[in-house]
Amino acid sequence: MAKINKKMPLEGIKVLELGTLLAGPFSGRLLGDFGAEIIKVEAPDKHDPMRQWGQQKDGHGLWWPIQSRNKKSVTLNLRVEEGQDIFKELVKKADVIIENFRPGTMEKWGLSYEELSAINPQIIMTRTSGFGQTGPYKSRAGFGSVGEAMGGLRYVTGFPDRPPSRIGISIGDSLAALFATIGTLTALHERNTSGKGQIVDTAIYESVFSVMESIIPDYLLVDYIRERMGNILPGVAPSSIYLTKDEIYIVIGANADGVFKRLCQAMGQPELAENEIFSTHLARAENMEALDNLIETWTQTLSAEKCLKILEKHGVPSGPIYNAKDMVADPQFKEREMIIYKEHPDLGEFPMPGVVPKLSRTPGRVEFTGAESVGKHNEEIYCGLLEFKESYVENLRRNDVI
């Protein structure tokens, strides 16, 4: 086991996080998990709505401490010249700017990449928007839901006899944040060679489209348009959910030939693997419904617990369908520290997801739950980092600049 290094891998990287809600701030959270100093900038009169999103406890939104973890909160009015000038001072000290405004907003404030890179040629500007910084749709408002729709995900989600559905989380924003984070880390690495920053331009619809597998060659080369198919994947069998005797659904994925043979052995029906209508990947795809019926006939003779034990014994990928209660009780989640507890100033021990991925020598960690009070770190950043006099900071506050 590698010796844990207390220094985190992104320590020394300063990030200015602008924007609200999901895509941009989620990138900030990911970078902060690995040691980047995240300075979250909010308007003094219009705070991030995420502060109140999700379920509430004692007046606190329960999503915010997760999204804002490891972040320092400052207020700054970017709509006024003095606020813009102060932001430029911050840019001189920073490595990355994260923003997810509608394209043109930063330019309107006199904070374009061209202007900011003239101040700091090493600055990286990570820009996330619905449709990207170019193209005929660039000025459109674009939430994650629209990106999921136009990126193709909504069309294939749900059952064939029902309208398109959504996944139960904001997956479009999260995918965009993941790609934006990859782009940011790539640009930081490239900067080590060139000494120059650049723009990371991430569109939500493109982030969704990028994970849509082979839908384009399916259409252009063989005139096939993937449709909604419920719990199955076209051409992949068996890979679905199956009802057990105690009326619990479990997932079984046994589409590879070797794994399918093990499934047949687990079911006590090894001859199925030699049956010509099931013996190959293509044959199983063509006879998917019949195969799924055979499997569910077997699973319904067993409890979920018994069924999963047999499948595990035979090396068949399978598992229960968890809700939050199941996750909290699961020993794998506990062993991997996927539910951690950090002290919240008002709510006490606050549970949240752990850091992903796991690094053996320089792992990430959550230092604190984030600033519950807006502008909590104004003095630290303005008087400390920028070395402003306290009297000047107080004047900025009186004039609603911070």
Question: For residue 67, what is the domain's CATH number?
Answer: 3.40.50.10540
From 290, 322, 354, the end of a domain falls on 322
Q: Mean pLDDT, to the nearest integer, of 7-11?
A: 95
User: Is residue 284 predicted with pLDDT exceeding 70?
Assistant: yes
From 271, 294, 322, the end of a domain falls on 322
Give the relative orientation of helices 23-33 and 171-194 as an angle to the nearest 10 degrees.
60
Q: How far apart are CA 6 and CA 247, in angstroms?
A: 47
Enter the pTM of the model.
0.94
Among residues 173, 246, 292, 400, the one annotated as catalytic is: 173
The verdict on residue 220 lying in a domain is: no
Cβ burial 259-295 (10 Å sphere, 16+ → b, else e):
bbbbbbbbbeeeebbeeeebeeeeebbebbeebbebb
User: Is residue 173 predicted with pLDDT exceeding 70?
Assistant: yes
Question: CB–CB of 339/352 below 8 Å?
Answer: yes
Residues 56 and 175 in one domain: yes
Residues 21 and 128 in one domain: yes
Q: Can you give the pLDDT at residue 64?
A: 94
Q: Read off the pLDDT band of 2 (50, 70, 90).
A: low
Count the domains in the chain: 2
Range of the domain at 138: 14-211+335-398
Residues 260 and 348 in one domain: no
Q: In the annotation, is 173 catalytic?
A: yes
User: Is residue 145 predicted with pLDDT exceeding 80?
Assistant: yes
Residues 275 and 134 in one domain: no
